Structure 1
Amino acid sequence: MKKGIHPDFHQVVFQDSSTGFKFITGSTATSDETIKMDDGNTYPLIRVEISSDSHPFYTGRQKFNQADGAVDRFNKKYGLANK
């Protein structure tokens, strides 16, 4: 590898903002925010919106915003549900 053209590879902490799950991994990403972990070391902290702890594919849980289907919503809106 040529010197001086590649970003610095170092240990960082990624934190899932929805669950608080944290994990340490190697990355070239940087952050001004830091966190002290249980091992006593301080690492750069990068907050992510979704991780393996909150993603439905990995957790097996799916969140449904709308339980009704299109037909049910139509029937409720136009009062055809009981006919």
Structure 2
Amino acid sequence: MKPSIHPDYQKVVFMDTNSGFTFLTGSTKTSNETIEWEDGNTYPLLKVEISSDTHPFYTGVQKFTDKGGRVDRFLEKYKMKKSE
């Protein structure tokens, strides 16, 4: 490897914002936020919206967090009534 062209590889904590699940791993990403880990050390904290704790492929369960489908959002946006 050429010296001084690669980003620093360090330990970071990823947090799933939906479930609060956290895990420690290595990454070149950095963050201004930090968290104290179980080993007593402080690591950069990176927040993600989905991880293996909430992804349907790993959990086997589909979780919907949005507020309705496209039609419902359209009807609400234009104050229209749903026709049966």
The interval holding the TM-score normalised by the smaller chain is: 0.7 to 0.9
User: Percent same amino acid at aligned positions?
Assistant: 65
Structure 1 residue ranges without an equivalent (≥5): 67-75, 79-83
**TM-score normalised over the length of structure 1:** 0.76
- The runs of at least 4 consecutive aligned structure 1 residues that moved more than 4 Å come to none
**TM-score normalised over the length of structure 2:** 0.75
SS at match of 2:30: coil
Q: Partners in 2 of 1:63 and 1:13 — Cα distance?
A: 24
Pairwise CA distance, 1:77:
3.7
Alignment RMSD: 1.6
Pairwise CA distance, 1:57:
0.8
Where does 1:6-45 land on structure 2 (aligned, <5 Å)? 6-45=6-45
Rg comparison, structure with higher value: 1
SS at match of 2:57: helix
Structure 2 residue ranges without an equivalent (≥5): 69-81
Pairwise CA distance, 1:45:
0.2
Q: State how many pairs are aligned.
A: 69
SS at match of 2:58: helix
Where does 1:47-66 land on structure 2 (aligned, <5 Å)? 47-63=47-63
Q: Partners in 2 of 1:52 and 1:24 — Cα distance?
A: 13
